[in-house]
Amino acid sequence: QISEKLPLGFTFSFPVSQTSLTSGSLISWTKGFSASGVEGEDIIRLLRDALARRKDSDVDVVALVNDTTGTMMSRALLDSDCQIGLILGTGTNACYMESLSAVGKWAHPKQPGVDKVAINTEWGAFGDNGVLDDVFTEFDKVLDQKISINPGKQLFEKTISGMYLGEIVRLVCVKLIDSGLLFKGQAAPAFSEKFKFESKYVSTVEEGDDSVAATQQILSGLGVTASEDDCKLVRRVCAAVSTRAARLAAAGISTIVDKIDTAQRCTVAVDGSLYKYHPQFSKRMAACLDELLPQGHGVVMKEASDGSGRGAALVAAVAVRLSSQK
Q: Which pairs with CB-CB distance under 8 Å and at least 24 residues apart come from 235-239? A: 235/205, 235/206, 235/210, 237/169, 237/172, 237/173, 237/176, 238/169, 238/201, 238/202, 238/205, 238/206, 239/206, 239/280
- Asked if 79 and 265 touch (Cβ cutoff 8 Å), the reply is no
The Cα–Cα gap between 265 and 253 comes to 14
Rg (CA), the chain: 22
Catalytic position from the list 31, 42, 140, 271: 31
Catalytic position from the list 42, 67, 144, 230: 67
DSSP-assigned states of every residue in 17-50: EEEETTEEEE----TT---TT-TTSBHHHHHHHH
Write the DSSP symbol of residue 264. Answer: S
146 counts as catalytic? no
Q: Tell me the torsion sign for CA atoms 292, 134, 249, 267.
A: positive
- Who contacts 167 (Cβ-Cβ below 8 Å, separation ≥6)? 143, 147, 194, 195, 197, 199
276 counts as catalytic? no
The Cα–Cα gap between 159 and 165 comes to 7
Residues involved in catalysis? 31, 67
